[in-house]
Amino acid sequence: MQDIVEKLVNTLGRDKVITSGELLRRYSRDFWPLLIMREQVLNEELPNPLAVVIPESVDDVSLVFRIINESNDAVPVVVYGGGSSVTGASYGAYSIIIDMTKLNKVININTYDSLITVESGAKLRDVEDSLNKVGYSLRHIPQSFNYATIGGLIATMSSGQYSTLYGNIEDMVLNMEVVLPNGEVTWLRRNNIPRASTGPSLKYLFIGSEGMFGVITKAVLRIVPLPTSTMYGAYKFNSLEHGIEALRELMMRRIIPAVARLYDESEASLRFGLDKSLLIISFEGYYDDLVRMLWVKADEIIKGYGGEYVGGRYFEDWLRTRFNVEEEIEAVKKYGLWFDTIEVSATWSRINQLYRDFRETLPRVNGVMGVMAHVSHLYVNGACTYFTVLFKPNVNTYWELWSKAMETALRDGGSISHHHGIGIVRSRWLRHELGNALSILRAVKTALDSKGVLNTKSGMFFPD
């Protein structure tokens, strides 16, 4: 493996390949709470990657694979965007990391066709800044807005806080340029079109692939004019179930909110100091009268399910604090606790049972101190429930609570992940969700990456 590293240095140059020191350490983990707990709470030293390559062109990326393929060793390679994966997907111990963040240019903004073309290492925040300057937006705003890159968002099949109205990342991506594990560079289509019936859409091979089929180097995404009209507010409910019914009714009637987040009593109490379930909701668009009409209809529906309007303050609180990630981590640490978040999706008929079972099962795990949740990301058929679990920092507790969570989601007919992806943390449960279809993924993987070097270290996707 050392000769591969030497070859990378000799071919790409010292500036583009980090092989030692504090700089390597920066890549020793992503945002997976297990790794942060081990490093910052249990004071473990995490292993470093073998080397970090920082390409400055697509050709550099291609060259990395050509060098790796010339070797008889199957050295693991991990693509690294913003490193904000919470599942270990960009954890690259003993691997060669490809850091994409120097490929970060906005290539073109085409407001007439509502398209942006960007290099994949561009930070979402910077892309959004460029768009806002010309009155446009992706309207894709995950909580990791300040960290995530376009490539990472696509590779994890990300979902933003405004997904109910604007869709998820898969609804935004039209086309991609990728570097395959054999070093070949290709666009997935020769034209950027709103839709085509030209065989299976290859974009879906890469959306959610977590880097295992190739490196995304450029992407074309749809954009929207910045909304000019917004109404927002909050409603409290006597029970989460009533709130869920109201959300379902809104979606059935196509009264589509931009943001809708329904907190259970525990999370509402922690975040807003309220001892009831709380729905914060907004509508937006380009005409005040249309937005107002949506608001009036939504208000009728929500009140019909017992929602009581409590003003705009809670929505504003959320807006102001929604990216306060570091403060939240410090607050948990102060109480001698640690946490993880588990987002599962389910159809409307299963959400209540799934919520109850999580709340009943997880606290039985020794060391788990609290479970709270909110429902967000709404669809006509169902929604995502996002659980936060507080526990005493301990590796065994961590894996036990994850086992219980995954088993519960599967038993109750939910998906094991709505938007964080599989990574290392969920790999062993994926086959229970996909069944025999996992063999299709494996076949594609083998066809594209016969040495199995790219992003499947630590058994990602295929733990056996």
CB contact burial 39-48 (16+ within 10 A = b; e otherwise): eebeeeeeeb
Q: Which one of the spans 17-25, 78-86, 126-134, 226-234 is the region binding ligand FAD (CB under 6 A)?
A: 78-86
Considering only residues 147, 162, 166, 315, which one is a binding residue for ligand FAD as defined by CB under 6 A? Answer: 147
Nearest residue to ligand FAD by CB is 152
Considering only residues 8, 50, 153, 354, which one is a binding residue for ligand FAD as defined by CB under 6 A? Answer: 153
End-to-end CA distance of the chain: 23
Q: Are 3 and 68 in contact (CB under 8 A)?
A: no
Site string for ligand FAD, 109-128 (x = CB under 6 A): -----------x--------
Tokens of 174: 């039209």
Tokens of 39: 């490093």
Is 148 an interacting residue with respect to ligand FAD (CB under 6 A)?
A: yes
How far are the Cα atoms of 84, 153, 168, 365, 413 from residue 125, in angstroms, in the given order?
13, 12, 17, 38, 35
CB atoms within 10 A of CB 266: 18
Is 83 an interacting residue with respect to ligand FAD (CB under 6 A)?
A: yes
Nearest distance from residue 26's CB to ligand FAD, in Å? 12
Is 365 an interacting residue with respect to ligand FAD (CB under 6 A)?
A: no
Is 152 an interacting residue with respect to ligand FAD (CB under 6 A)?
A: yes
Mention every residue, 6+ apart, whose C-beta is less than 8 A from residue 293. Answer: none
Q: Which one of the spans 141-149, 196-204, 401-409, 440-448 is the region binding ligand FAD (CB under 6 A)?
A: 141-149
Considering only residues 19, 159, 282, 417, which one is a binding residue for ligand FAD as defined by CB under 6 A? Answer: 159
Is 151 an interacting residue with respect to ligand FAD (CB under 6 A)?
A: yes
Considering only residues 210, 267, 284, 412, which one is a binding residue for ligand FAD as defined by CB under 6 A? Answer: 210
Judged by CB, which is closer to ligand FAD: 213, or 272?
213
Q: Which one of the spans 236-244, 306-314, 417-425, 428-436 is the region binding ligand FAD (CB under 6 A)?
A: 417-425
Please tell me the total number of residues recorded for the chain in this structure: 464
Question: How many binding residues for ligand FAD (CB under 6 A)?
Answer: 37
Dihedral sign, Cα of residue 411, residue 412, residue 413, residue 416: negative
Q: Which one of the spans 82-90, 226-234, 247-255, 263-271 is the region binding ligand FAD (CB under 6 A)?
A: 82-90
Is 385 an interacting residue with respect to ligand FAD (CB under 6 A)?
A: no
Site string for ligand FAD, 12-31 (x = CB under 6 A): ------------------xx
Tokens of 312: 């705009």
Q: Which one of the spans 11-19, 42-50, 108-116, 147-155 is the region binding ligand FAD (CB under 6 A)?
A: 147-155
Is 262 an interacting residue with respect to ligand FAD (CB under 6 A)?
A: no
Q: Hey, which residues does 375 pair with through a beta bridge? A: 262, 385
Considering only residues 34, 52, 54, 100, which one is a binding residue for ligand FAD as defined by CB under 6 A? Answer: 100
Is 208 an interacting residue with respect to ligand FAD (CB under 6 A)?
A: no
Is 417 an interacting residue with respect to ligand FAD (CB under 6 A)?
A: no
Distance of CA 279 to the CA centre of its chain: 23
Considering only residues 68, 131, 138, 216, which one is a binding residue for ligand FAD as defined by CB under 6 A? Answer: 216
Site string for ligand FAD, 312-341 (x = CB under 6 A): -------------x----------------
List of residues contacting ligand FAD (CB under 6 A) = 30-31, 78-86, 89-90, 100, 120, 142-144, 147-149, 151-153, 155-156, 158-159, 210-211, 215-216, 325, 419-421, 455
